[in-house]
Amino acid sequence: MLLLARFALPLAAQFFGGEGGGLLGFLLPLVLIGAVFYFLIIRPQRQREQKRQEMVNDVEEGDQIVTIGGMHGSITKVEDDSILADVGSETRIRFDKDAIASVNGVSPDDDE
């Protein structure tokens, strides 16, 4: 990031005919750093969260799930914000939908 700011200051000075100081010399590197931050961190995180939310909303009875705690099970009942999962030996546990890490072995972080 400092490398980006180092090259942006002289370019701004040449473009606007100044010595390299001033408001533009200060704001241009900040805007460039903000844009890089948005495209490398914020935007991909939003896309991952959107995929995860779609995955959670599309669960159906019979889907195999893994929770964020590592528990494996099969969905037996889907409600508005929770699921009932059979985790073996006729044991059923209720989870919030937000506790689902992957459905049928596919996590939202996998590239399609």
Indicate yes or no: pTM above 0.85. no
pLDDT tens figures, 88-101: 998 999 999 999 99
Neighbours of 24 (CB within 10 A): 16
In contact, 77 and 83? CB cutoff 8 Å: yes
**Half-sphere exposure (Cβ direction) of 59: Cα atoms closer than 13 Å:** 38
In contact, 4 and 29? CB cutoff 8 Å: yes
In contact, 86 and 30? CB cutoff 8 Å: no
Judging by DSSP bridges, how do beta strands 72-78 and 82-88 pair with one another?
antiparallel
| Polymer length in residues for the chain | 112
Structure confidence at residue 54 as a pLDDT band (50, 70, 90): very high
